[in-house]
Amino acid sequence: MHIRLIAVGDRQPSWVDFAFENYSQRLPRQWQFRLDLVATARRTKNRSAGTARITEGHKVLAKIKASEYVVVLDERGKEFSSREFSSWLDDWQSDGRDLTFVIGGPDGHSEDCMRRADLRWSMSRLTLPHGLARVLFAEQLYRAWSLTTGHPYHRS
């Protein structure tokens, strides 16, 4: 079983790359965690945000296999505490399917991506910049692993 993150948006500040890499390198090797990037579609006065969102959605869906469990990160999705997310992730490991998380583009997910999702997850009701969402995602994934394994990273 593998975990990956598909993220729309190719250029991030160096601090995002550094922090994301720091947490993702801590994840267990058996997850074979990886990040797949999808370029942000250009937005112009003749090309609407809706058109760009659809284009990005097609690119995201092309990377997803039919057998994968897909979780889109969406501010209106299901909220978990860190412990609840850890428990959910632990349950997923017994499911046997690869797990793919998706962070949409600047204008969110296409309707097709939302329909493909098995779960919509809200890390916060706040709207987060994409780079910060990546870092927070990687940190929560590491925290969830630390909770299930008894690692002292999660202290409460």
Tokens coding 30: 């058996």
Residue 32 lies in a domain: yes
Residue 60 lies in a domain: yes
d(CA 134, CA 74): 13
In this predicted structure, the answer to whether residue 44 has a pLDDT above a threshold of 80 is no
Q: Percentage of the chain surpassing pLDDT 70?
A: 99
CATH number at residue 145: 3.40.1280.10
Residue 14 lies in a domain: yes
User: SS3 sequence, 82-145?
Assistant: HHHHHHHHHHHHCCCCCEEEEECECCECCHHHHHHCCEEEECCCCCCCHHHHHHHHHHHHHHHH
Range of the domain at 72: 3-149
pLDDT attached to residue 156: 61
pTM of the model: 0.93
**What total of structural domains would you count in the chain?**
1
Residue 30 lies in a domain: yes
The mean of the pLDDT values for the chain is 92
Tens of pLDDT along 100-145?
A: 999 999 889 999 999 999 999 999 988 888 999 999 999 999 999 9
